[in-house]
Every structure is written in C-alpha cells, then in structure tokens.
Amino acid sequence: MSLSYRQPGVILTDRRFTVPLDHAAPDGETIELYAREAVASDKAGQELPWLLYLQGGPGFGANRFVGRQAWLDRALRDYRVLLLDQRGTGSSTPATRQTLPLRGGPAEQADYLTRFRADSIVRDCEAIRAEVTGGAPWTVLGQSFGGFCAVSYLSLAPEGLDTAVITGGLPSLHAHADDVYRSAYPRIERKVTAHYARYPQDVERARRIADHLLTHDVVLPNGYRFTVEAFQSLGLMLGTSDGSHRLHHLLEDALVRTPGGLDLSDAFQEQAQSLLSYAGHPLYALVHEAIYGQDARPTAWAAERVRAEYPQFDAAKALTGDGPVIFTGETIHPWMFEADPALRPLRETADLLAARTDWQSLYDPARLAANEVPVVAAVYHDDMYVDTAHSLETARAIRGLRTWVTDEFEHDGLRAGAPRVLDRLLAMARDEV
C-alpha cells in the first residue's frame, strides 16, 4: 500500500516495487526497489507526464528533498517526478557489509554485485514503468552515473523514453578503466593547482598534515585508519562548486598544539571521518570501477595502478622537497578496504570483482547512432569526475544529441545551478532555444 504525505508545496508518495534480481531469470529471486513520487500540491489531480530521476554514484539513493528544493522545483512545474533509489541503495534492498554475507562468501557476493550495474538498473526502470505511467514512455533525468544509466537506457530500451536529459554524465562508449583514470589524474592535478592558487596558505597546511600522518599511526574515532593516502583522497571535494572552499575550511583548523606536541584536532578528525567513510554508500566503492567494465579485460584496481604513472601524487616524495601535496579525486583503491571499517569485511569481494573478465557491454553504438529519442546533455568543461573529451566523443556518437558545454558550473551544476540548468536543458529538448 502506498503512503502519501505533504511537504511545503509538494505531495509525496512512498512506492515500492518487486523486480527480478536477474532480469534474464524473471521467475527467480527478487529484490525490492523504493521510490518517492513527487507532485506539486496544486497539480496533484492533473494528468502529468512522468520524469524519472536517476541519481549519481554509483551507490547513492535518490536525493531526499524537503519541499521543492533545488532542481525539483523546476521539474514539478511540468512533471510528476519519480525519485528512484537504484538497486542496492537508499531504501531499496541494501547491499552492505551487514547484508552481503546473506549471499554466502566473497565469491557469491561478487557474483551478486555484478547485477548492480547500469544494465540491470535500466531493466529495473522498464519493469516498473508500466505500473507507474500506465505504459507511456517517460523522461529520464540522469545526473553523473545516472547519465551513464541514461545512455544504457538509450541502448537497451529507447522505446521506454520520451526524452533523455543528462547532466555531467556522458560516458565513454569504449574506454577501459585504465583510459578513464589516465584522463582523470591530470584533471585532478589541475583542480588541486587551482585550489592552491585560490588558497596558497593551504600548501603548507596540507604538507604539515601529510607529514603528521606519515610519522604517526592515526585511527579516527570510528575506527578508520587515517593514512596520508586517505587524507589526499579528500580532494574528491574539488569537483563540486563549493568544494575548494569547504576543503580550505577543513584544513585551516586541522592541527592543534597539545602537551604532547602538534596533533590533529578532534574537530578535524570528526569531519574527516564523515567525509571518508563509505558506511552510507558501500556500493560506490565496490562497483565503481565495474561501471567501466565492458569486455574481457579486468579492471584490476585501475585507479591504483594508473596512479603509479603519476609520481607527483606521492606525498612522501613531495615532502622531501618544497612542492605541494597533491590531492586525489574520484578514485577507489585497495587500501580503502583496509582503512574503512564499513569496507574491511568486503576486501576479498572487491578483489574478485576487480579480477572479473566476463563484463558485458553496457552500450550499443549502432543503436545509439540510429537514436530517435530527443537527448540533451550538459557537459561541464574540465569536469573533475567525467572526462570532457570522452563526453563529447559520445555526444557525437548519439544521433540527434544536443550538448550545452559550459564552464560556469562544476560537476554538481544540476544542484548548484538549479533551476537554471534544468530549465535550459528542457528548453533545448523542446527546441525552444
């Protein structure tokens, strides 16, 4: 039974769906999906087209808005919106260190997790569409990894789509994970360089923190082993609109003088563990590189291997001279499964996923070349998380796709620039601009 309730300006309805774990075996095991339907209070009785929102990630549930926040306000002018918690996320059947042992050992867990990529998410969407829309096609709004899913949707089931709107999420159709990270590390370095140009005082602060971590064994209050590599991974923030400022504020009070000498402040440690922990989204770490698996080549911890090609990211070497400590970004490493208590029990499972050689293609270039669905995409120039060159190559490969290339926003433009970003993309899709 669905439950409806009100927030300012919007009526929300909790919806649950049962779908096959493996869509190739529709009569087999099932899992549950959760979604939140949203409609403007003054349009609740109207017949409206549907917009399906696919969150970025992988591994994150859909936004939990309060009322008509951010881009949702613009969407509710025209649509009923379905905020889907993709399989394994949010209030859908979870996949965590607590639940995955129900599958069996690491081998069984890894097999299970192969069904949590974009192709399965698209088939979930098609499985629930008839119940939600009565069979009518819907508009999909894909943010980041949600855009990857939208491109898979255009490949696997374009008949289900009225329009596809993509923000910061046009994937390469062919690149191996190694290619993705060889493109990523130079972009990450550019973001770090820009941060230090904005906040030059952070160069010395980061060096002092890195030195402390290299000479002390630090365990955060939640049990996270805080190494210098973990500290560098806080650079993930630099891909968002306010991330440079938030990183600066994090660093400015990191060290405190104590009777035993300089130490990391309690406030800094509390904030760091919140930013570093994968307790709320372990799928992000588990299947992040798997979203780039498209053939018989294993991903094989690509971000870790490729990082070795860029020695400037070695903090210990940086401290032997007077150079800056270079932060990293959206990269997943084996050490995370040793450092993070939420991931520690899943290390062998992650290793098995990294070694797999039976990945199936997520995209159909021939079908995309013949596409008839209106598609628009915001491509953020020098996006830290998604390579601009890869995105533009894919844009050229999808028939009829219109791009808006902008350096006004970072990867989170849909959030930071709302409702302006969504308004422009919808106008482009309707040939109004």
Which of these is catalytic: 119, 172, 411, 412?
411
Which of these is catalytic: 144, 155, 233, 244?
144
> In terms of C-beta density within 10 A (0-12 exposed, 13-18 middle, 19 or more buried), how is residue 209 classed?
buried
Polymer length in residues for the chain: 433
Tens of pLDDT along the chain (433 residues) come to: 578 999 999 999 999 999 999 999 999 999 999 999 999 999 999 999 999 999 999 999 999 999 999 999 999 999 999 999 999 999 999 999 999 999 999 999 999 999 999 999 999 999 999 999 999 999 999 999 999 999 999 999 999 999 999 999 999 999 999 999 999 999 999 999 999 999 999 999 999 999 999 999 999 999 999 999 999 999 999 999 999 999 999 999 999 999 999 999 999 999 999 999 999 999 999 999 999 999 999 999 999 999 999 999 999 999 999 999 999 999 999 999 999 999 999 999 999 999 999 999 999 999 999 999 999 999 999 999 999 999 999 999 999 999 999 999 999 999 999 899 999 999 999 999 8
Which of these is catalytic: 27, 217, 358, 431?
358
382 catalytic? Reply is: no
The full set of domains in the chain, from first to last, is: 3-173+363-429 (3.40.50.1820), 177-355 (no CATH)
pLDDT at 1: 57
Helices marked H in 159-293 — which ranges?
A: 177-198, 201-215, 228-232, 243-252, 266-276, 282-287
Q: Could you give the CA distance from residue 284 to residue 290 in angstroms, rounded to a whole number?
A: 10
Question: Distances from the Cα of 407 to the Cαs of 141, 381, 393, in angstroms?
Answer: 20, 5, 18
407 catalytic? Reply is: no
Pairing of strands 161-167, 375-380: parallel
Helix (H, G, I), strand (E, B) or coil at 18: strand
pLDDT at 136: 98
> In terms of C-beta density within 10 A (0-12 exposed, 13-18 middle, 19 or more buried), how is residue 393 classed?
middle
pLDDT at 338: 98
277 catalytic? Reply is: no
User: Running DSSP on this structure, what letter comes out for residue 8?
Assistant: T
